[in-house]
């Protein structure tokens, strides 16, 4: 249920040892779409869980499982396309570590971003919003440009008998090959990033099934980038923080193989780097997803 675009490494719901396929449509927008850039993303992902121990393929993965994970995913959006590969190992029950590699293609959507909040010219507060993005979108036809993202991942499964939950930590290195001196938005995380950048995010999610047809849960994500720029003078960039949270109401279909989630939420950014009233920070997200795995039952 982790809501970031990345493959979750703690959510084992409906996962079995062996091949697993997921297809997902995600749409999100602010109630008043002036700050948050609307998103619409189609995702297709494949995950193979290789058990460490005497467990047959097709058996469901449990919270005390031990396994190797290999995953690939493709993402398609009006603003970007992305391919991701992932490797992880859960040698100790509930604790998984791994890495991933992403190639993000800007579909002529690499709008120039300011990286500071003082001095002459536009500031981060002026450019990190939907109004500026749409005013400058497709202004120049430059085709497809790209960025590479390298990630180190760690996840802790906190599930119990009556609920499922997890905490995930991700550290990313970013290499952008675009115009605008490599100053762009990382659309999957919705963060302004520099040509040579790094950022981290912490995710917490929890959910519980209320009946055969309904479940509910929460997502919480904290993101930060530029936190060493002032201390070490690495590059001219303002420290950036963002918090995103959702409450999910989920309708399950076909014995849980498909579901539709509607989630109200909000996002927060420090006042000095973001504009907009509290009402402009209210979000609404919808997710439809289908899952298939090799189930021995």
**Cα 273 from Cα 237, distance rounded (Å):** 12
In-domain check, residue 13:
no
Q: What share of the chain is helix, strand, coil (3-state, %, to 5)?
A: 10, 55, 35
What are the average pLDDT values for consecutive 10-residue runs of the chain, which has 297 residues? Answer: 56 88 94 92 94 88 90 93 95 93 87 71 81 80 80 92 90 79 78 80 92 93 76 63 94 89 94 82 95 77
Q: Residue 180 falls within a domain, yes or no? A: yes
Provide the domain limits for residue 154: 18-293
Query: Is 47 domain-assigned?
Result: yes
Distance (Å, rounded) from C-alpha 7 to C-alpha 24?
12
Residue 88 lies inside a defined structural domain of this protein:
yes
Is residue 8 domain-resident? no
pLDDT given for residue 112 in this prediction:
76
Give the per-residue pLDDT at 4: 46
Q: Tell me, yes or no, whether 64 lies in a domain.
A: yes
Number of domains in the chain: 1
- 3-state SS string for 180-235: HHHCEEECCCCEEECCEEEEEEEEEEEEEECCCCEEEEEEEEEEEECCCHHHHCCC
Is residue 110 included in any domain, yes or no? yes
Q: CATH number, domain at 237? A: 2.40.160.40
Question: Looking at the domain assignment, is residue 230 inside a domain?
Answer: yes
Residue with tokens 């039952």: 297
In this predicted structure, what is the pLDDT of residue 3?
42
């Amino acid at each position: 249920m982790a809501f970031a675009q990345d493959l979750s490494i703690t959510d084992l719901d409906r996962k079995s040892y062996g091949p697993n396929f997921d297809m997902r449509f995600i749409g999100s927008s602010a109630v008043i779409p002036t700050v948050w850039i609307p998103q619409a993303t189609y995702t297709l992902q494949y995950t193979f869980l290789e058990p460490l121990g005497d467990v047959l393929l097709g058996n469901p993965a449990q919270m005390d499982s031990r396994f190797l994970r290999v995953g690939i995913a493709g993402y398609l959006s009006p603003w970007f396309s992305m391919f991701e590969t992932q490797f992880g190992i859960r040698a100790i029950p509930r604790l998984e570590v791994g890495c991933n590699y992403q190639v993000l293609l800007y579909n002529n959507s690499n709008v120039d971003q300011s990286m500071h909040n003082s001095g002459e010219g536009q500031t981060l507060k002026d450019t990190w919003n939907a109004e500026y993005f749409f005013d400058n979108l497709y202004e120049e036809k430059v085709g497809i440009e790209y960025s590479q993202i390298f990630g180190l991942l760690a996840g802790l499964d906190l599930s119990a008998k009556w609920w499922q939950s997890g905490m995930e930590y991700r550290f990313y290195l970013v290499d952008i090959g675009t115009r605008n001196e490599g100053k762009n938005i990382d659309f999957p995380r919705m963060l302004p990033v520099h040509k040579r950048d790094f950022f981290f995010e912490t995710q917490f999610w929890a959910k519980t099934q209320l009946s055969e047809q309904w479940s509910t849960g929460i997502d919480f994500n904290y993101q930060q980038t530029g936190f060493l720029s002032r201390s070490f003078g690495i590059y001219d960039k303002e420290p950036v923080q963002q918090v995103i949270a959702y409450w999910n109401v989920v309708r399950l279909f076909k014995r849980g193989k498909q579901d539709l989630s509607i989630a109200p939420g909000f996002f927060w950014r420090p006042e000095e780097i973001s504009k907009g009233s509290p009402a402009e920070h209210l979000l609404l997200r919808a997710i439809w997803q289908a899952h298939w795995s090799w189930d021995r039952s």
